[in-house]
Structure 1
């Protein structure tokens, strides 16, 4: 084979491999999806700067006066998590070694832990608050791979349902890299049935039409208004 032809063949092979690898990575990324018709559990976190700790578990207060409301609805059967996040008093730009700076981490109160899910960073909604909402479907990735394995790999939403207190949520900024605000997940009753820690809501119940917004009120009173679905 002539040198020029051989070089073209080699370059073509490299390109083919590169495209295949890129396709493989893309297929493993979290996918934005429509809201599912039902959920197996719901969680909320009222995030504050005093909850933040650094990688060594040492208290490292976040941005003074900032707050965050993180509301999550989970369908663990379909591996879908819907998020409704509002930050007040948090000053971008965001900064994190992960592919976004807003996460759910695995870690109990006062402890650090690896990110398991990376959410789109909240953006100014015109009122001065930062908002982000939508739904993601796994398998989940974070872009953090300290030992060659992404910290989202192998993670399942059922792990949150089994032990929500072992997970926290936060947002990181350039001025507060350990976290501007942080809060531990707390389960929210759904349709009168406690969820989380092994609980599951009846499939005959669903959130009211307010959808994710209903969780904002629920976070304050510890309950969730629900309606019964019409029976077939």
Structure 2
């Protein structure tokens, strides 16, 4: 396992940061790209891929106590990483998670560094899912350096000096989530799980030699099957056609 230097959340202590994520008095934010993360085209190849099943039952507050999140919400976060170029491509879908989004970070949809059942600071901030009806989506690619808008006493952002290779080294130490005004500690959350890398056109799933999508185990929740991979493909193609 790769050893990385310990970092303190920037402008605020870790305790204060997690308390802000769990408390009130926060600014409701839209889906603007985080500053200092550049929107880029999807690369030709990836070094790793990850998925997270986002559920309300996984959400905890600053003390590590379960909050229940948004009881009607669910979602998925699919990440494809090229750690050589510090590029992360994301496909995030939420179901029955209602805005407004709310977080002290620049956006309310993140990858945080913390194991299951524990709070932790955000390392990546993504545009919030948007759309009509109960299903909302967010897709694209970002290239570091990454910032989150959360600063600590050392003057650095919680994304400063963060490398995507840290996720590759220990994916279980990171989780995805999104925060809303009615569920500020988190509406839905899920730990990252590594899945096969299938290339730029296969979403989060792999492709076997015969062209059939492979299934990847997602914690204890079940399998990411061919249908999930197809949904990612269709979503990304639809976005490309609209652009």
TM-score w.r.t. structure 2 length?
0.70
Higher helix share: 1
Larger C-alpha radius of gyration, 1 or 2?
1
- Structure-2 residue corresponding to 1:130: 136
Alignment of 1:89 with 2:96, yes or no, is yes
Q: 1:155 aligns with which of 148, 162, 181?
A: 162
Q: Secondary structure at the match of 1:146?
A: coil
Query: Do the aligned partners of residues 108 and 59 (structure 1) sit closer, same or farther apart at CA in structure 2, a change above 3 Å counting?
Result: same
Alignment of 1:212 with 2:218, yes or no, is no
Q: Write out per-residue CA displacement over residues 138-187 of structure 1, whole angstroms, 9 at most, x where no aligned residue.
A: 01000000322210001000000000000000000001000000000000
Question: Quick check: 1:99–1:143 contact (8 Å CA) kept in 2?
Answer: yes
- Structure-2 residue corresponding to 1:100: 107
Distance 1:217 1:100 in 2: 33
- Structure-2 residue corresponding to 1:22: none
Q: Write out per-residue CA displacement over residues 168-218 of structure 1, whole angstroms, 9 at most, x where no aligned residue.
A: 000000010000000000000225xxxxxxxxxxxxxx24x3x43758985
* C-alpha displacement of 1:55: 1.3
- 1:1-232 to structure 2, matched below 5 A, reads 29-124=36-131, 126-147=132-153, 148-191=155-198, 206-207=199-200, 209=201, 211-212=202-203, 218=215, 221-222=223-224
Q: Secondary structure at the match of 1:165?
A: helix
Unaligned runs of 5+ in 2: 1-34, 207-212, 217-221, 230-243
Structure 1: 4+ residue segments shifted above 2 A:
211-225
Distance 2:204 2:121 in 1: 28
Distance 1:104 1:117 in 2: 5
TM-score w.r.t. structure 1 length?
0.73
Distance 1:112 1:78 in 2: 29
Unaligned runs of 5+ in 1: 1-27, 192-205, 226-232
Distance 1:46 1:56 in 2: 22
Distance 2:84 2:224 in 1: 24
Taking only aligned residues, the RMSD between alpha carbons, in angstroms, comes to 2.5
Q: Write out per-residue CA displacement over residues 3-44 of structure 1, whole angstroms, 9 at most, x where no aligned residue.
A: xxxxxxxxxxxxxxxxxxxxxxxxx70000000000000000
Question: Quick check: 1:101–1:118 contact (8 Å CA) kept in 2?
Answer: yes
